[in-house]
Amino acid sequence: MSDWTETYRPTSLSEVRGNDKAVSKLAEWADTWDDHREAVIVHGSPGIGKTSAAHALAADRGWETVELNASDKRTGDVIERFAGRAARNATLGGSAAGGGAAGGDTASRQLVIVDEADNIHGNYDRGGASAITDLVKESGQPIVLIANDYYEMSRGLRNACQEIEFRDVSARSIVPVLRDICRREDVAFESDALERIAERNAGDLRGAVNDLQAIAEGRDRIELADVVTGDRDRSLGIFPFLDAVLKEEGARDALESAYAVDETPDDLTKWIEGNLLKVYDADEATRAYDFLANADVWLGRVRATQDYSYWRYVTDNAAAGTAAARDGTAGGWTRWGRPQFWPASDATADAVVQRIAAAEGCSMATARREILPFLAAMTHHCSPRELTVGMAAAYDLDASEVAFVTGSGESTNKVAGIVEDAQDRREQLLEEHAAGAFAGGPDRDAADDGDAEADGNDEDAAELGNVAKSDGDSDSAGSADSELAAGDSSDDASTDDASTDDDGDDDQLGLGDFA
């Protein structure tokens, strides 16, 4: 049987269900392209017809299409070749014509469709999102950028484009599509059954069509009972599973859902752990982490004994426990992400782990397994910001590394601002630190006041930031060091602050310095 989502893909804009306003905006964008020459970002949840609408638009206008995937590194080059400067006077087929760019012969235009455009950052390796923004601005052909998450795209790119939001397709609009397919496939149906399929796919038309096809296989009539049984029988995808455990189901149902997913308990545990904080509040997460810790203990036992019967306790804790830790249910659509620490060979992960291990004096394995997950949980999506800045400063993380730990988009302003502040923080601390060690700069006064904040020896340097020492000790240590510092600094302390900047003693700093 061919894939029904392909067989019944809309071939004209008039066949795209729901989103009438968005569809007419898209048509208007295309028809006025010669006047504005801007790209458009079409965004919304998966499976609601964004890509189909772009193709249908081209078909209606008689335009060729070029479909590119933003997560493919070559996409930037391809856009540059076909839609960038070079395309000003030539069409994709190579004909230097009055087509596309020159206006007039719009029939020979090509519509460039860039899928997963919210993944553009980090994957386009020649200048990142800003380079692609330039290409989009200068494009000689209309470009449709398709994205799930509009705000994952850089502000520059967003500003350079028009925006059209596609909303989830209501169950009411999904049912007629399913009905139509049943008629064309000669499958009889009970209306309740189609309604049930539409409802359980909550706005995702592609999901509904896929479900319909799975249930219709081997049947010439679909009844409600088939759909309900199908609910239990079908192997559950990981995203519906996460919906079930983290948002919708109680412990028992969540456990059954876990059995229906085609993933091993250790992978399931990672998926749950990696996505928990997207929906759980602090209290729920605290309870859930207890269960996940138990799951981890049982995973350890499986590894140690190779007795896979223990897996059931992993699933009990990870699925049923985590579901039980939730206070209520949640709705809406959540962008579930792959667990962050799977690619053990990932270069960014390795760089971060190395930096943590060096700073904390622990092994890479400890940094990877025991520290990194905590940092990720504490700074999820860069919140709280102060702590994230502290972490970035402590381990000298760049934007890709902050993005990796926090799960935020690398090219977002949020991450860029944090990296900048972290850099300032490092410089400031080094300056303060150096000033204390040599008592040269403005901090000299503080040292003289007996604050003892500027103790320059290594031991205390490691504690810098927690240096609110008790008075007893600090007085003598402080004055002794102040004298030493004064002596040391006699050569250069009278010069301006800059002389104290570059001591190169940043290896003395630890996380405590920044948090």
Least distance between ligand ATP and beta carbon 345 (Å): 28
Tokens (6 digits) for 114 = 């860039």
Complex with ligand ATP: residue 171 or 209, whichever CB lies closer: 209
Which residue, 289, 378, 279, is CA-closest to 332?
279
Complex with ligand ATP: residue 169 or 452, whichever CB lies closer: 169
Judged by CB under 6 A, the residue of 71, 148, 294, 499 near ligand ATP is 148
Tokens (6 digits) for 409 = 């988009």
C-beta separation of 260 from 235 below 8 A: yes
Buried b (16+ CB within 10 A) or exposed e, 140-176: bbbbbbbbbebebbbebbbebbbbbebebbebebbbe
Which span (6-14, 264-272, 357-365, 384-392) binds ligand ATP, by CB under 6 A?
6-14
C-beta separation of 15 from 119 below 8 A: no
Our finding on whether 51 is near ligand ATP (CB under 6 A) is yes
User: With contacts defined by CB under 6 A, how many residues of the chain interact with ligand ATP?
Assistant: 21
CA distance 189 to 158: 44
Which helix H or strand E contains 432, and what residues bound it?
helix 413-438
**Which parts are annotated binding residues?**
44-51
- Helix ranges restricted to H, 161-223: 171-185, 191-200, 205-216
Which span (201-209, 293-301, 379-387, 411-419) binds ligand ATP, by CB under 6 A?
201-209
Question: From residue 52 to residue 71, what is the string marking binding to ligand ATP with x (rule CB under 6 A)?
Answer: x-------------------
Would you give the end-to-end CA distance of the chain in angstroms? Answer: 59
Complex with ligand ATP: residue 161 or 435, whichever CB lies closer: 161
Judged by CB under 6 A, the residue of 30, 41, 48, 198 near ligand ATP is 48
Our finding on whether 79 is near ligand ATP (CB under 6 A) is no
Our finding on whether 237 is near ligand ATP (CB under 6 A) is no
Please give the C-alpha separations between residue 15 and each of 46, 55, 56, 180, 307, in angstroms, as whole numbers.
18, 12, 8, 12, 54
C-beta separation of 182 from 222 below 8 A: yes
Our finding on whether 99 is near ligand ATP (CB under 6 A) is no
Tokens (6 digits) for 270 = 């990672």
**If you search the block for the tokens 């069509």, which residue do you land on?**
209
Judged by CB under 6 A, the residue of 187, 194, 205, 302 near ligand ATP is 205
In the range 171-190, which residues lie near ligand ATP by CB under 6 A? 177
Our finding on whether 9 is near ligand ATP (CB under 6 A) is yes
Complex with ligand ATP: residue 108 or 170, whichever CB lies closer: 170
Least distance between ligand ATP and beta carbon 54 (Å): 8
**If you search the block for the tokens 């801007």, which residue do you land on?**
38
Judged by CB under 6 A, the residue of 30, 39, 40, 47 near ligand ATP is 47
Instruction: Tell me the residue nearest to ligand ATP as measured from the CB.
Output: 49
Our finding on whether 50 is near ligand ATP (CB under 6 A) is yes
Judged by CB under 6 A, the residue of 30, 135, 209, 452 near ligand ATP is 209
Least distance between ligand ATP and beta carbon 334 (Å): 15
C-beta separation of 106 from 61 below 8 A: yes
In the range 127-146, which residues lie near ligand ATP by CB under 6 A? 146
Least distance between ligand ATP and beta carbon 380 (Å): 24
**Which parts are annotated binding residues for ATP?**
44-51
Our finding on whether 43 is near ligand ATP (CB under 6 A) is no
Amino acid, res. 77: D
Our finding on whether 17 is near ligand ATP (CB under 6 A) is yes
- Helix ranges restricted to H, 40-142: 50-61, 75-82, 128-138
Our finding on whether 169 is near ligand ATP (CB under 6 A) is yes
Which span (29-37, 45-53, 323-331, 440-448) binds ligand ATP, by CB under 6 A?
45-53
C-beta separation of 163 from 136 below 8 A: no
Complex with ligand ATP: residue 175 or 277, whichever CB lies closer: 175
C-beta separation of 84 from 140 below 8 A: yes
Please give the C-alpha separations between residue 273 and each of 262, 319, 344, 372, in angstroms, as whole numbers.
17, 10, 17, 13
Our finding on whether 203 is near ligand ATP (CB under 6 A) is no
Least distance between ligand ATP and beta carbon 74 (Å): 19
Tokens (6 digits) for 221 = 């009539």
Tokens (6 digits) for 101 = 């760019």
Complex with ligand ATP: residue 43 or 326, whichever CB lies closer: 43
CA distance 241 to 122: 29
CA distance 119 to 139: 20
C-beta separation of 45 from 333 below 8 A: yes
Residues that bind ligand ATP in the complex, under the rule CB under 6 A: 5, 8-10, 16-18, 46-52, 146, 148, 169, 177, 205-206, 209
